[in-house]
Amino acid sequence: MNDIAGFIFTRISYHAGEGKGSEQRIAGGLLKGGPKRIAFPDALDAENLDFPMEKIIDTSIANRRNRRFIGVLILGLVLLFLFSVLGICLSSGFIPAESVFRIVLSNSIPGMNLDLADIREVDQRIVWLIRTPRVILAGLVGAMLAVAGVQMQGLFRNPLAAPGLVGTSQGASLGGAIAIATGLGLTSIGWVPLFSFIGAFLALFLIYLLAHREGETSVAMLLLAGVALNFLLSALVSLVISWKFKDYQAAVEIVRWLLGGLKDRSWDYVTIAFCSFIPAFLLSTWYARDLDLMLEGEETAQSLGVETEKVTWVVLLSTALLTGAAVSVSGVVSFVGLMIPHLLRLIIGPGHRNLNIASAMTGAWFLIAADILSRTLIRPEELPLGIITSLIGAPFFLFLLVRQRKELEIL
């Protein structure tokens, strides 16, 4: 036993700076760039080691995930910058990047009055009043939907939970449609986000009541309840449109909004999205550790001091705020909240603090890239943004269903 332990186990120093950055594979004693394998003397027994095997493995996994997290952030920042510049340069007409930088810096930084005499005034207005807010809004919507997906998958403890699949987005759509149909949404820009938030929260709360039982979430119940609620809410949205069919302006506004897209979005919409995203993101990140503990089950989390009911309400409210705000400014954009968190969880692990940050970054550049495609594929016309994300996300959803087919069997 001692000979086997001497061959397999590897002593790893926990002193600061030792073994840092190494890729450690415990079985077989292979260490790349780390300390050498030291065989235990026969006098030692594996059960009496002063460094538990679980701690060694957990530390190695945590270090690897942290390195991946940093890599995801660096790559995300690069892609976010590149797609943002490309999104402002490209559309129905091309504007050089050098001109874009001068226009944006001159308008965004007080006192920086760069020479814009060689740039047409119409191009200046297009860059600052149309394309720049659109790109920023696309990034905010992508970040909001991705973080909302992280929160929902953590709360339900299931990778299939996402705003577009369990009725949350449709609830926000119904709320926004009611705001427009009653005339409130046409008089003030703030009514649609408010009604969308209420609709998203009520839909999410209903799904939570239906699918969550005794600290567990049934995959089959989550999907079935989500499909049923989506049909119900879609029917109610159609009812609202039919009710206002004779009011041409309201009906057209509802349909155009529901198709999803960022056309003609001003800085006012950016303000709404930003003011919704920041508090919800900070709140969800603040309770990230509590949500981590709830992954082990509500009873286990309660025994460790987590106020599970409070955390549940915080997650429901923050998710509803994120989804409601995203839908109110862009319409229904599907699958972002499903794909991004699931893929990143495979790369950087399930820790919600890192997952929130990485998902916000990845969701932002992903939706900016999708918006570029929606504007350029059939120029000068635009495709609805929801079509682009659905073409990418639907195959991914089918892949997830195949992976979880055993859990979906109803006996």
Q: Is the pLDDT of residue 46 over 60?
A: no
Read off the pLDDT of residues 116-158 as tens digits, 9 standing for 90 and up. 888 889 999 999 999 999 999 999 999 999 999 999 888 888 7
6 pLDDT above the threshold of 50 = no
Question: Is 58 part of a structural domain of the chain?
Answer: no
User: For the whole model, what pTM was predicted?
Assistant: 0.80
Binning pLDDT at 50, 70 and 90, where does residue 274 land? very high
Q: Tokens 């897209």 belong to which residue?
A: 261
160 & 23 share domain: no
Q: Is residue 408 a part of any domain in this protein?
A: no
Rounded to an integer, what distance in angstroms lies between the CA atom of residue 355 and that of residue 343? 10
Q: Is residue 60 part of a domain?
A: no
Overall average pLDDT of the 3-9 stretch:
38
Domain count, the chain: 2
Does 362 score more than 90 pLDDT?
yes
120 vs 52, which has greater pLDDT? Answer: 120
Residue reference for tokens 């989550």:
222
- Position 368 pLDDT exceeds 90: yes
Q: Place 405 in a pLDDT band, splitting at 50, 70 and 90.
A: low
How large is the average pLDDT for residues 179-192? 84
The stretch 42-51 carries a mean pLDDT of: 44
Same domain, residue pair 323 and 367:
yes
Cα(164)–Cα(170) distance, integer angstroms: 7
Q: Report the CATH number that the domain containing residue 108 is assigned in CATH.
A: 1.10.3470.10
Closest of 189, 78, 142 to residue 374, by C-alpha: 142
Same domain, yes or no, for 132 and 159? Answer: yes
pLDDT of residue 404: 64
Are 32 and 150 members of one domain? no
pLDDT > 90: percent of the chain: 35
Q: Are residues 173 and 30 in the same domain?
A: no
Residues 19, 157, single domain; the answer is no
For residues 121 and 6, membership in a common domain is answered with no
pLDDT of residue 18 exceeding 50, the answer is no
Contact 268, 189 (CB under 8 A): yes
Which of 26-30, 86-90, 208-212, 309-313 is predicted least confidently?
26-30
What average pLDDT score do residues 31-39 get?
A: 39
Cα(245)–Cα(274) distance, integer angstroms: 33
Mean pLDDT, the chain, as a whole number?
Answer: 80
- Top-confidence residue, 110 or 278: 278
Q: Region 198-206: what's the mean pLDDT? A: 91
Position 367 in a domain: yes
SS3 content of the chain, % helix, strand, coil (to 5): 70, 0, 30
- 230 compared with 29, residue with greater pLDDT: 230
Answer whether residue 265 is part of any domain.
Answer: yes
Lowest mean pLDDT among 45-49, 281-285, 322-326: 45-49
pLDDT (0 to 100) of residue 133? 95
Q: How many CB atoms lie within 10 A of CB 127?
A: 21
Please report the pLDDT score of residue 78 as a whole number. Answer: 97
| pLDDT value at 11 more than 60 | no
Q: Which domain holds residue 154?
A: 69-403
What average pLDDT does range 345-353 have in this prediction? 90
Report, as an integer, the average pLDDT of 171-190: 86
Q: How many CB atoms lie within 10 A of CB 189?
A: 15
4 burial level (CB within 10 Å; 0-12, 13-18, 19+): exposed
Q: Rounded to 10 degrees, what is the CA torsion of 205, 206, 209, 211?
A: -110
Q: Which amino acid is at 162?
A: A
Q: Are residues 122 and 231 in the same domain?
A: yes
Mark whether 47 and 141 lie in a shared domain. Answer: no
pLDDT confidence bin for 244, thresholds 50/70/90? confident
Q: Picking from 54-68, 97-111, 168-182, 369-383, which range would have the lowest pLDDT averaged per residue?
A: 54-68
